[in-house]
């Protein structure tokens, strides 16, 4: 459904509305070993990825206990990942995004979102100052359309 289609037909397009369904905070940034520029061997990267993913799954399970009926294999979602950066060091967006792949994989593994393909969710990334300690905020929104 594209806006252009509706404009051509003279119809008002549906208005999307974002409904927060899940939100949690990971204490820290994604592990350095998961950056594409990390100089680590395959096994070390694999261990870091598995550990990170398991930690995130534990946080998800903590948040969705009792809500499993409404949060199950969601489609048409927005996954918002916001990094709290503790200092003024330069960080590349692409490295943070690549290292955060395992956050989205954890959402798929724990059946919060249906799939991590481009048709099932829209990523949204941002950063903010977090002077006391680094952290990563993850929010999942379901997109609903009103006419």
Q: Which domains does the chain have, with CATH numbers?
A: 15-146 (3.30.1330.70)
Question: Is the model more confident about 64 or about 23?
Answer: 23
Q: At what angle do helices 101-109 and 42-64 cross, to 10 degrees?
A: 50
Q: Looking at the predicted structure, is the pLDDT value of residue 4 above 60? A: no
What's the average model confidence in pLDDT over 46-66? 90
Confidence of residue 1 (pLDDT cuts 50, 70, 90): very low
Alpha carbons within 13 A on the beta-carbon side of 110: 24
Q: How many CB atoms lie within 10 A of CB 30?
A: 25
Whole-number pLDDT of residue 88 = 85
pLDDT digits (tens, 9 = 90+) for 29-50: 999 898 888 899 999 999 999 9
Q: In 3D, which of 93, 101, 76, 96 has the Cα closest to residue 1?
A: 76
């Amino acid at each position: 459904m594209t806006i252009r289609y509706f404009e051509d037909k003279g119809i008002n397009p549906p208005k999307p509305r974002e409904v927060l369904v899940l939100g949690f905070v990971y204490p820290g940034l994604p592990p350095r070993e998961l950056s594409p520029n990390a100089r680590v061997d395959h096994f070390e990267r694999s261990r870091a990825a598995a550990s990170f993913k398991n930690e995130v799954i534990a946080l998800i399970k903590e948040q969705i206990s009792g809500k499993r009926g409404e949060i199950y294999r969601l489609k048409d979602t927005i996954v918002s990942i916001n990094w709290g950066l503790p200092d003024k060091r330069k960080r590349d967006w692409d490295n943070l995004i690549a290292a955060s792949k395992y956050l989205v994989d954890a959402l798929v593994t724990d059946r919060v979102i249906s799939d991590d393909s481009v048709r099932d969710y829209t990523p949204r990334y941002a950063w903010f100052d977090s002077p006391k300690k680094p952290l990563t905020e993850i929010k999942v929104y379901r997109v609903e359309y009103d006419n």
